[in-house]
Chain A
Amino acid sequence: MSWLFTGMLVLSFLFGILNGRMEQVSISAVNDCSNAVTLVIQLTGVMCLWSGLMRIAEASDLTGKLSRLFRPVMTLLFRHLPVDSKAAKAIVMNLTANLLGLGNAATPLGISAMKELEKISPRKGIASNEMAMLVVLNTASLQLIPTTTAALRLSNGSTAPMEILPAVWLASSVSILAGILTAKFLSSRFR
Chain B
Amino acid sequence: MNQISHYILPAVIVLIVGYGIFKKVPVFDCFLEGAKEGLTSSVQILPALIALITAVGMFKASGALDVITYSLRPVANLLHLPQEVIPLAILRPISGSGALVIFQDILQQYGPDSFVGRVASVMQGSTETTFYTIAVYYGATRVQKTRHTLPSALTADIVGFFMSALAVRLLLF
* A interface residues, Cβ below 8 angstroms from B: 1, 4-5, 8-9, 11-16, 18-19, 21, 24-25, 27-29, 31-33, 35-37, 39-40, 43-44, 47-57, 59-62, 100-102, 105, 107-108, 110-112, 114-115, 118, 124-127, 131-132, 134-136, 138-141, 143, 145-154, 156-164, 166-168, 170-172, 174-176, 178-179, 182-183, 186-187, 189-191
Partner among A1, A40, A56, A162 whose Cβ is within 8 Å of the Cβ of B138: A1
State whether the Cβ of B77 lies closer than 8 Å to any Cβ in chain A: no
- A136 to B53 alpha-carbon distance, docked (Å): 20
Question: Cβ of A110 and Cβ of B137 under 8 Å apart?
Answer: yes
Given known contacts A36-B46, A111-B136, A149 and B57 CB-to-CB distance under 8 angstroms: no
State whether the Cβ of B76 lies closer than 8 Å to any Cβ in chain A: no
**A contact face: mostly helix, strand, loop, or mixed:** helix
Which residue on A lies nearest to B125, using beta carbons? A146
- A152 to B103 alpha-carbon distance, docked (Å): 9
Q: Which 10 A-B pairs have the closest CB atoms?
A: A55-B34, A179-B156, A32-B57, A175-B160, A51-B38, A146-B125, A158-B112, A186-B148, A52-B31, A48-B38
Residues of B within 8 A of A163 (CB): 172
- A61 to B118 alpha-carbon distance, docked (Å): 42
Chain B 20-45, CB within 8 Å of chain A: the 1/0 string? 10110111001111111111011001
* B interface residues, Cβ below 8 angstroms from A: 1-2, 4-5, 8-9, 12-13, 16-17, 19-20, 22-23, 25-27, 30-39, 41-42, 45-46, 49-64, 66-67, 93, 100, 103-104, 107-108, 111-113, 117-118, 121-131, 133-138, 140-153, 155-157, 159-160, 163-164, 166-168, 170-172
Question: Cβ of B25 and Cβ of A1 under 8 Å apart?
Answer: no
Given known contacts A60-B23, A158-B113, A178 and B141 CB-to-CB distance under 8 angstroms: no
- Chain B: minimal CB distance from A121 (Å): 8
